[in-house]
């Protein structure tokens, strides 16, 4: 198998035949957020299937496109649909698109996901600005020989979510009247949802929201020196003593409502990015 760098080079060659710009921001659209790309100017859509070494999405509710365009005048690359560890991909496959986006030139990554809300102050469809995370997945995308040209062997994780972007997101949500908390995200492998005892434990170790994605991508972004901003949308309430069976249709419908809020919030945040946020 080719090493990561050669795989990235092959992917970039194909992408460059369709898009020659330099995106400044990468966005990973989680469940419900695909509407964001409807607002793009000068859109170029490349199906994951056309890109060498890109995994294929196996989840029906997720699309599979790398979409380029401008939002508030800023060149963006958006992943419409992401890859999950529970689908059977390796952590290197799950995070490969982040390596590609880095090579395309992004300075900031915005990651979004659907998550279960364990903090009792949260309501369905609330946004959570991720201030930190806990990795409970059984694997790590950086395991194995480190390519020093991609990042450090032992990347620092004291602030994987950029404090100035967290502050900007919080201020903007407040101004727009969009309910947004700050919180800790814990990543589990899935695909099953958690038992009551597991929610109790995850809350007890300090997490506010739980989901099956995001942390691998954020670890690779930290390794690659990309500034990250993360959002969860609360799609189900996970209070151990009042737990109800969730159904995926309800998760998807709540995600669509919250996705609409995020689709309004993200452009407003982008509009306020100045040089300082990307220094
Ligand atoms: N647990 C894990 N992942 C999730 C949940 C949950 O309750 N809701 C949405 N994604």
CB environment 25-55: b (16+ within 10 A), e (fewer): bbbbbbbbbbebbebbeeebbbebeebebbb
How many whole angstroms separate alpha carbon 90 and alpha carbon 195? 25
* Residue 278 maps to a domain: no
Q: Which domain holds residue 224?
A: 4-273
**Residue 112 resides in a domain:** yes
Task: Give CA–CA dist 34/89, Å, rounded.
Answer: 22
**Nearest residue to 224 (alpha-carbon basis) of 52, 84, 107, 79:** 107
Within-domain flag for 8: yes
Question: Domain total for the chain?
Answer: 1
**Is residue 120 in some structural domain?**
yes
7 contacts: CB under 8 Å, gap ≥ 6: 52, 53, 96
CA of 24 to the centre of ligand 1 (A): 30
pLDDT score for 43: 92
> Any idea what the CATH number is for the domain that residue 15 is in?
3.40.50.1580
Ligand 1, atom nearest to 194 Cα? 1
| Residue-level pLDDT at 2 | 59
- What spacing in Å lies between the alpha carbon of 96 and ligand 1's midpoint? 23
| pLDDT at 274 (0 to 100) | 76
pLDDT of residue 233: 95
**pTM assigned to the model:** 0.94
pLDDT of 242 reads 86
pLDDT of residue 251: 84
- Nearest-atom number in ligand 1 for the CA of 212 is 3
What atom of ligand 1 comes closest to residue 236's alpha carbon? Answer: 8
Does the residue 279 lie in any domain?
no
Mean pLDDT, contiguous 10-residue spans, the chain (279 residues) = 85 95 94 84 92 78 84 94 93 97 97 96 95 98 94 96 97 94 97 95 98 98 98 94 85 88 94 66
Residue 101 lies in a domain: yes
How far, in Å, is the centroid of ligand 1 from the Cα of 130? 15
């Amino acid at each position: 198998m080719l090493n990561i760098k050669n795989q990235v080079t092959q992917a970039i060659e194909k992408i460059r035949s369709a898009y020659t710009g330099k995106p400044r921001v990468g966005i990973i659209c989680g469940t419900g957020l695909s509407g964001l790309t409807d607002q793009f100017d000068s859109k170029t859509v490349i199906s994951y299937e056309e890109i060498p070494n890109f995994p294929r999405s196996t989840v029906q509710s997720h699309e599979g496109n790398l979409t380029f365009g401008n939002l508030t005048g800023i060149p963006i690359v958006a992943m419409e649909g992401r890859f999950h560890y529970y689908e059977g991909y390796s952590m290197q496959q799950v995070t490969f698109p982040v390596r590609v986006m880095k090579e395309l030139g992004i300075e900031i990554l915005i990651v979004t996901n659907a998550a279960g809300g364990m903090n009792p102050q949260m309501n369905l469809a609330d946004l959570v600005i991720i201030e930190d995370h806990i990795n409970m997945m059984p694997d790590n995308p950086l395991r194995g020989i480190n390519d020093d040209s991609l990042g450090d062997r032992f990347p620092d994780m004291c602030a994987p979510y950029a404090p100035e972007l967290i502050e900007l997101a919080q201020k903007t949500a407040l101004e727009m009247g969009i309910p947004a908390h700050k919180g800790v995200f814990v990543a589990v492998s899935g695909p099953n949802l958690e038992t009551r005892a597991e929610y109790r434990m995850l809350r007890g170790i300090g997490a506010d929201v739980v989901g099956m994605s995001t942390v691998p991508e954020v670890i690779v972004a930290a390794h690659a020196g990309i500034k990250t901003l993360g959002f969860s949308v609360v799609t189900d309430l996970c209070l151990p003593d009042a737990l109800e069976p969730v159904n995926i249709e309800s998760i998807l419908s709540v995600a669509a409502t919250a996705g609409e809020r995020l689709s309004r919030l993200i452009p407003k945040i982008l509009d306020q990015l100045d040089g300082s946020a990307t220094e």
